[in-house]
Amino acid sequence: MSPQEFDIFTEPEGFDVDTLANLGPLGPLAGIWEGRKSMDISPKAGGANNQVYIERIELQPIDPQTNGPQLLYGLRYHTIIFKPDAPETYHEQVGYWHWEPATQTIMHALAIPRAQVALAVGKAAPDARQFEVRAQRGATDFGICSGEFLERHFRTDSFVMKVTVNADGTWSYFEDTLLMLHGREPFHHTDKNTLTKIAEPTPNPLMRRKA
């Protein structure tokens, strides 16, 4: 099919507006979660620093999104992380998880308040209980963008996140962020945690209106 023959403008019709029923492998992640089975290994002046943390993450369904014929179902999320012995925020993150049923593609868009964003991608079956997404610095589709200070001194070359949905209803993740530190060897900044559900998700706005 030539570019002139491909319709990039007409949106799909008659699709299911129930996001919670169409999230594929992202379905088990919907809801509000807390986790304490954690470990953050980050770079410090004296070497690697190991830090346990408390995490609260809310993943709520959004209405289906269309880009012309493309149809996406997704979760909007907000993560806040604290140290067990300190009241201030240790890490905060916002973004979206998207599932494209037609191509069995997972997309993870994230932003952190240190002037950095990323868009990671992966493939998975609709009923997959494990999946991973990846982003690479320099990519123009699924890449990483940082502010001047981070780009110069803590350059992020790649990001990988692996998610496992556990049989007991919890889910776990492992993240590996490859940092190129100014004047040092590459450093694998890793995070892992297991999350337990504390509240159910709220149906997306179209479904609430329909109900």
- The answer for residues whose C-beta is within 8 angstroms of residue 180's C-beta and 6 or more apart is 154, 155, 156, 157, 186, 187
The residue that leads in pLDDT, 17 or 87, is 17
| Domain boundaries along the sequence of the chain | 19-200
Which pTM was predicted? 0.94
- 3 falls in which pLDDT band (50, 70, 90)? low
- 164 falls in which pLDDT band (50, 70, 90)? very high
Mean residue pLDDT across the chain: 95
Distance (Å, rounded) from C-alpha 142 to C-alpha 13?
A: 28
Residue 207 φ then ψ, to 5°: -70, -35
Distance (Å, rounded) from C-alpha 103 to C-alpha 125?
A: 10
What does the block give as tokens for 62? 């959004």
Bridge partners, 116 (sequence order): 112, 146
Quickly tell me which residue has 């179209």 as its tokens.
Answer: 206
Question: Is residue 5 predicted with pLDDT exceeding 80?
Answer: no
- Within its chain, how far is the Cα of 93 from the centroid? 9
186 within 8 A of 176, measured Cβ to Cβ? no
What does the block give as tokens for 147? 């502010």
Quickly tell me which residue has 């996406």 as its tokens.
Answer: 72
- 146 falls in which pLDDT band (50, 70, 90)? very high
What does the block give as tokens for 68? 């012309």
The predicted structure's pLDDT at residue 182: 83
- 210 falls in which pLDDT band (50, 70, 90)? confident
For residue 94, give the 3-state DSSP assignment.
Answer: strand
37 within 8 A of 193, measured Cβ to Cβ? yes
The predicted structure's pLDDT at residue 147: 97
Its sign, for the CA torsion 79, 107, 199, 125, is negative
- 142 falls in which pLDDT band (50, 70, 90)? very high
Bridge partners, 146 (sequence order): 116
- The answer for residues whose C-beta is within 8 angstroms of residue 203's C-beta and 6 or more apart is 18, 19, 20, 61, 211
What are the tens digits of pLDDT across the range 27-59? 999 999 999 999 999 999 989 999 999 999 999
Find out if CATH 3.40.50.300 is the number for domain 19-200.
no
